[in-house]
Structure 1
């Protein structure tokens, strides 16, 4: 088999495990505190977005303009994160999404490097709770980068640490901002979710159940 892929770089939330519910509940608590109509539908807009940008989106739900100092905004974001950190303590190894353990084995067997590129500052905690520390060569989270997705920095940083050219990498995401980041990094983009949501992805799969080494290689060939 011709080696077309040298590394696969995964988003964490919604790709390795589903922490969307934990994020939703944490933001809902802040929204309720502020009297804002935060819904599950609106929560979709926060996928792949940094914490501060998510807070700004949440505040945009107010009918009246809200005025907060930078310190007050930081306190709100910090409080959301503390709620989230308590919720993710519930995450267990069996919460890894379907197909991911098998794919990681396939990648290792074929000498393909792996990394996490997450918009979360809690990526290491989640990976610890999943007991997957030894499954990835590199973990890059929001605490180690300046620019959030859709900026490609987190994916480029992962490729740099893996010592792999970005064009030889495949990125896996479940958020539009994440797919944009992958494409901006000149990597192959696999999206997990509804096809209509990801017109710029090289390959879209409905769930991680369908994600295996052959699909990774197929996505690389589609771009080529």
Structure 2
């Protein structure tokens, strides 16, 4: 049973695909690495790489070779570094124009009404992305993914974010665009809000097709 709207005090955000669509840069960088390693790029990779850590993303690619253990820990670390260097180079073109539709207005409304706002992104580059977008000041708490033991769909990142905000899980909404993220929110006890297609985010407790629909009024309608 979902809580009443009035009991919600905090909102936990994923970054990629929610606040901005950096997934296109991630996909390009991973695609280039796959080409370098002579791994045939598969359309399914794009969804599998959403919302998970750099290490887990690399594992998806290497598992596709059928011989993931052919690479040493040092080689895997180098591959991840090469991918991230390329991704950071692509991010240099990022600006406030890349903020997802309606997101600035939503964050402004949350801040004006004293909701606590936290970032629960698996991206180690999240602080840099927020800075490029001009959104850093909206977030009172950010989980450092380097401190986590497990990645999404494990709930650890959302549970940590709830704690940093000083709230209880049922007092928070978690916003995600990936299956793994929705699973993590649900497991944490927060209310999951999915952004995207119904067939992908069937487990989301609340769902909107796009971020443009993400308003307090629309959320209130879902939490009567």
Quickly name the TM-score band, shorter chain normalised: over 0.9
Q: Are the counterparts in 2 of residues 15 and 172 from structure 1 also a CA contact under 8 Å?
A: yes
Distance (whole Å) between structure 2 residues aligned to residue 120 and residue 40 of structure 1: 22
Offset at 1:141?
3.6
Stretches of structure 2 lacking an aligned partner (at least 5 in a row):
none
C-alpha RMSD over aligned residues:
1.7
Number of aligned residues: 221
* Structure 1 residue 170 corresponds to structure 2 residue 173: yes
| Equivalent position SS for 2:92 | helix
What does residue 28 of structure 1 align with?
Answer: 31
- Find runs of 4+ consecutive structure 1 residues off by over 6 angstroms: none
> Normalized against structure 1, the TM-score is what?
0.93
> Normalized against structure 2, the TM-score is what?
0.93
- Counterparts of 1:77-156 in structure 2 under 5 Å? 77-156=80-159
Offset at 1:203?
1.1
Match of 2:6 among 3, 7, 14: 3
Match of 1:14 among 14, 17, 30: 17
* Structure 1 residue 70 corresponds to structure 2 residue 73: yes
Stretches of structure 1 lacking an aligned partner (at least 5 in a row):
none
Q: Residues 114 and 59 of structure 1: is their aligned pair in 2 closer, same or farther, counting only changes over 3 Å?
A: same
Q: Residues 106 and 156 of structure 1: is their aligned pair in 2 closer, same or farther, counting only changes over 3 Å?
A: same
Distance (whole Å) between structure 2 residues aligned to residue 130 and residue 220 of structure 1: 30
Offset at 1:104?
1.0
Distance (whole Å) between structure 1 residues aligned to residue 159 and residue 61 of structure 2: 29
Distance (whole Å) between structure 2 residues aligned to residue 112 and residue 220 of structure 1: 16
Q: Are the counterparts in 1 of residues 172 and 190 from structure 2 also a CA contact under 8 Å?
A: yes
Offset at 1:87?
1.0
Offset at 1:115?
1.0
* Structure 1 residue 183 corresponds to structure 2 residue 186: yes
Q: Are the counterparts in 2 of residues 173 and 189 from structure 1 also a CA contact under 8 Å?
A: yes
Q: Are the counterparts in 1 of residues 5 and 223 from structure 2 also a CA contact under 8 Å?
A: no
Offset at 1:215?
2.5
Q: Residues 73 and 206 of structure 1: is their aligned pair in 2 closer, same or farther, counting only changes over 3 Å?
A: same
